[in-house]
């Protein structure tokens, strides 16, 4: 299989497709349209809420598949393709533990909304970047009218040092994933971006040899293993660089776009 055989392109958002200003470049939208016309399907895969991803990619939202909440929620247009729940008893347990940790700011991630009880304005301002549709409540453990996908915990310090140690022991029964410098995500054990991508590959009838993936952090590792053309960003974690088959420039240096330009050139070469 050669580069021109790629049919499916998947990209993480933060640290990958988004630049330091949390923006998607105009170049990307142009490349996506040209590649789509040549039969390439794009998928956005992120720890972000579905509505936040949809907002960032509003220009192409009806043409792409969205893998949100680290693989717990997959949707195309109005069709829900995958929903993986985290039961409320588990959510309550993790919320209670997180409440005992200094610098732990909790988000209960529902299918309909993200929920916060935190009153720290600095956190709330940052949180809004990732959760466009949210509700502020007095007590997260009393939220009932939703389906829960994960518990996300933000730390202004390093999540690997601040919050992960308290939840590491639950890793045998739940997916406990450091998903960014400041974020820790806890979801059902069978939930990750790789499982979501494997499901999409099956329904779209696309092989790993026909798949291209971009990522930068540990929550991308499983989906990078689902593609022959797996790219770590120059700004990626060491663990991601060890797993990926290739490396591209950083998210601030058009890393994704650089490879997509190569893909487009390869695709056009077989149509001429």
Mean pLDDT by 10 residues, the chain (272 residues): 94 97 97 98 97 97 97 97 96 98 97 96 93 96 96 95 96 94 96 98 98 97 98 97 98 98 95 64
Domain final residue pick, 159, 188, 217:
188
pLDDT of residue 21: 95
| Exposure string over 15-29, b if 16+ CB within 10 A, otherwise e | bbbbbeeeebeeebe
pLDDT of residue 246: 98
Q: Give residue 64's domain range.
A: 3-83+192-269
Residues 166 and 92 in one domain: yes
Residues 73 and 200 in one domain: yes
Residues 197 and 180 in one domain: no
Residues 96 and 8 in one domain: no
Residues 176 and 218 in one domain: no
Nearest to 9 by CA among 77, 60, 83: 60
Strands 246-248 and 229-233: parallel
Residues 207 and 166 in one domain: no
pLDDT of residue 272: 61
pTM score of the predicted model: 0.95
Residues 32 and 97 in one domain: no
Residues 168 and 140 in one domain: yes
Residues 107 and 199 in one domain: no
Residues 196 and 73 in one domain: yes
């Amino acid at each position: 299989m050669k580069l021109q055989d790629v049919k499916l392109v998947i990209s993480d958002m933060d640290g990958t497709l988004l630049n330091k200003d949390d923006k998607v470049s105009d170049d990307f939208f142009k490349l996506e349209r040209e590649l789509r016309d040549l039969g390439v399907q794009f998928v956005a895969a992120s720890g972000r809420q579905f509505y936040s991803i949809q907002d960032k990619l509003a220009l192409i939202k009806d043409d792409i598949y969205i893998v949100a909440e680290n693989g717990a929620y997959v949707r195309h247009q109005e069709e829900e393709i995958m929903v993986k729940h985290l039961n409320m008893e588990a959510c309550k347990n993790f919320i209670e533990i997180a409440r005992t940790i200094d610098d732990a700011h909790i988000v209960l991630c529902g299918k309909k909304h993200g929920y916060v009880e935190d009153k720290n304005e600095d956190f709330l301002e940052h949180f809004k970047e990732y959760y466009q549709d949210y509700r502020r409540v007095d007590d997260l453990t009393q939220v009932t009218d939703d389906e829960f996908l994960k518990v996300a915990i933000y730390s202004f310090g390093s999540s690997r040092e601040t919050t992960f140690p308290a939840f590491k022991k639950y890793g045998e029964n739940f997916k406990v994933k450091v998903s960014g410098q400041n974020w820790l995500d806890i979801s059902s054990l069978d939930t990750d971006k790789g499982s979501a991508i494997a499901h999409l590959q099956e329904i779209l009838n696309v092989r790993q040899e026909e798949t291209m993936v971009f990522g930068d952090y540990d929550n991308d590792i499983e989906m990078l293993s689902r593609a022959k053309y797996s790219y770590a960003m120059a700004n990626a974690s060491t663990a991601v660089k060890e797993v990926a088959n290739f490396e591209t420039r950083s998210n601030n240096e058009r890393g994704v776009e650089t490879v997509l330009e190569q893909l487009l050139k390869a695709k056009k070469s077989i149509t001429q």
